[in-house]
Structure 1
Amino acid sequence: MRDTMTSTAQTLRFDGLHLCRGSYPLEIHPDEIHVWLVASDVWGNSAAPDRNVLSAGERAKLSRLRLESDRRSYRVAHETLRQLLSAYCPSVEPKAWQFEYGTAGRPDLKASESGLTFNLSHTCGQAALAFARDCQLGVDVETVIADTDLDLAESICTTDELRALRALPQVDQPRRFTQLWTLKEAYLKAIGKGLSQSPQSIGFRFLESVEISHQIMEPLDAPNANFRFCSSQVSATQSLAVAWGTPEARPKRRLKIVRLAPDQLAAVMQGCFPGHDQDTRALCSPSISTAVARANFAKKGDPCTMSA
């Protein structure tokens, strides 16, 4: 069964999280998704935060990473995750959070009663942390590599995606491939499969600059899931994608993105957050152009219909 969805996207400009002065804990409403962008490559030894928030398992994994850049990226992402979780739920200390892992390695909160869900991704110098309530959530951020071997695309992309990719000017192909990859991985992370499921099980097509259609080539374990997607170029060399699914027929969520500036990272790690004593707008990317694809995944065997 092949489910095909086409949806009109829109270009959005984000002003960031609307937090009042002195607001604590951070609030995330049921109709919101918060995405935090953290430039992990700005850390220096003098700004290094306390490592005590990481679990023994996280410290062991950290020690196994060979490259210093990988260790820094992992450490900043996972320490920031714990600090932000405690910003949303201050009754839990950052080091007290416990995670459980799915068969594909996806981390989730263990015995959480808050309804809070999260996902994280990190690439060269950049970490993305997404938070929401009561939904399936996946995020991926990747660096665009100009000399990407597009032969790799044959094992990642669908036939239609390959055809469209190769029709682009050669200079544009690496960026489009990275967009496709992040959309696929965000979706596969959201459904808890990761790369245990083929990236070719979902296909995307960019109809125009802000339009995306997608196809599901394999049945979902949860056929009632309704998903939407966000694809964003967060810098000249990095692409971000977010996927979220809910039981609702129209899973609208307000997507709010905050880019944490280098001089605010240390404060965040110590529990000070945007809006506590400063204007949040200063922390945000002034303009992040984002294509948001909106669609429902119909039940297997049902007519494919679109909810606006």
Structure 2
Amino acid sequence: MKSKSKQKTSIMKIAENETHIWFTYDEEINHDFALNNYVPFLSHQELEQYQKLYFDKRKHQYLVTRMLVRNVLSRYLKGIPAEDIEFITNDHKKPYVLPEQLVLPLQFNISHTEKMIVIAVSVGIEIGIDVEYLDRNNSAFEIAERFFAENEYQYLKALPDDQQKQRFFSLWTLKEAYIKACGKGLYIPLDEFCFSYPSFNTIDINFSTYRHDDPTNWQFWQIQPSKQHLVSLAVKQSEQHPQNLIMYKTTHLLGSEVVSYPVVASKC
């Protein structure tokens, strides 16, 4: 196995009114390349987790995910190589960069699914991101009836058959993004908040009396980077700095390019 050498990455700037999303397709990265170039950069804990995984496909995606996180964050953390970044988690396992390493109040969130990994980055505001693979089978109505708000479940039932699966994933990714941004994961019951679509490409959120939150605190985007993938992003916005979205794609984690994937719905 290759010995570790310091990885050089280009410096990225991010303004207080910007949220960046990074996309990578893990299947575009050769497994042998990843094995030789990424494993040496894992922390001891990450290496242990990597070695516990049994299936090669899962191991490959885990390896690319961890390296994407380290590579992307090192672009914003001036002077800190990717392999030296340290992480902590809150009580609900949401990850953060070790505060002593921050040169600005950077926030990030990660998600991955079949063939795609995404990471969102912001400054000083909580964010959550979720990506789903639209071709996978699931028990949409079972899940919606059991966990979603009643209005969401009835909305799905009323849709034509050919629209139900897409809308289920639309609601599911929004819910995942919101609870991840809040930093409490599934400790927040999914029926305590409800998403709706006032128009085809507009998102709205409402909260039950059990959930003390304000819809005006939040911005949401839904992006479709491929026919098989849907991404939802939740941003707890600041009144002073409503967020602008910038998207990047990176391959082999070496270079990057600005991309403009379709935003299919939003609440800004």
Residue equivalent to 1:44: 30
Q: C-alpha separation between the residues in 1 aligned to 2:255 and 2:13?
A: 12
Residue equivalent to 2:3: none
The Cα RMSD (Å) is 2.1
Residue equivalent to 1:244: 235
Could you tell me which of 167, 176, 182 is aligned with 1:185? 176
Contact kept? 1:227, 1:251, Cα under 8 Å: no
Residue equivalent to 1:70: 58
Residue equivalent to 1:300: none
- Residue 67 of structure 1: how far off its partner (Å): 2.4
Contact kept? 1:41, 1:69, Cα under 8 Å: no
Taking structure 2 as the reference length, the TM-score comes to: 0.87
2:41 is equivalent to residue 53 of structure 1: yes
Q: C-alpha separation between the residues in 1 aligned to 2:130 and 2:136?
A: 19
Q: C-alpha separation between the residues in 1 aligned to 2:138 and 2:240?
A: 37
Please tell me the residue identity of whatever aligns with 1:292: S
Could you tell me which of 89, 92, 115 is aligned with 2:77? 89
Residue equivalent to 2:161: 170
Q: C-alpha separation between the residues in 1 aligned to 2:111 and 2:95?
A: 11
Contact kept? 1:229, 1:243, Cα under 8 Å: yes
Greater fraction helix: 2
Q: C-alpha separation between the residues in 2 aligned to 1:110 and 1:86?
A: 13
Report the secondary structure of 1:207's partner residue. coil
- Residue 192 of structure 1: how far off its partner (Å): 0.5
User: 1:119-158: CA deviations, max 9, x gaps?
Assistant: 1101111000111101011111011246421212112311
Contact kept? 2:206, 2:215, Cα under 8 Å: no
Unpaired stretches in structure 2, ≥5 consecutive residues: 1-8
Please tell me the residue identity of whatever aligns with 1:142: E
Contact kept? 1:73, 1:123, Cα under 8 Å: no
Q: Are residues 98 and 223 of structure 1, via their aligned partners in 2, closer, same or farther at CA, if it must alter by over 3 Å? A: farther
Unpaired stretches in structure 1, ≥5 consecutive residues: 1-22, 275-279, 295-308
Residue equivalent to 1:293: 267
Q: How many residues align?
A: 254
Q: Which gives a bigger RCO, structure 1 or 2 (Cα 8 Å, sep 6+)? A: 1
- Residue 81 of structure 1: how far off its partner (Å): 0.8
Contact kept? 2:92, 2:183, Cα under 8 Å: yes
Residue equivalent to 1:213: 204
Taking structure 1 as the reference length, the TM-score comes to: 0.77
Residue equivalent to 1:121: 111
Q: Are residues 130 and 231 of structure 1, via their aligned partners in 2, closer, same or farther at CA, if it must alter by over 3 Å? A: same
Residue equivalent to 1:297: none
User: 1:94-125: CA deviations, max 9, x gaps?
Assistant: 11111111121110111134211111101111
Q: Are residues 60 and 99 of structure 1, via their aligned partners in 2, closer, same or farther at CA, if it must alter by over 3 Å? A: same
Residue equivalent to 1:13: none
Matches within 5 A, 1:259-298: 259-260=249-250, 265-266=251-252, 268=253, 272-274=254-256, 280=257, 284-285=259-260, 287-294=261-268
Q: C-alpha separation between the residues in 2 aligned to 1:224 and 1:154?
A: 24
Residue equivalent to 1:25: 11
Matches within 5 A, 1:142-181: 142-145=132-135, 147-150=137-140, 151-181=142-172
Residue equivalent to 1:103: 91
Q: C-alpha separation between the residues in 2 aligned to 1:158 and 1:44?
A: 42
2:124 is equivalent to residue 138 of structure 1: no
Residue equivalent to 1:34: 20
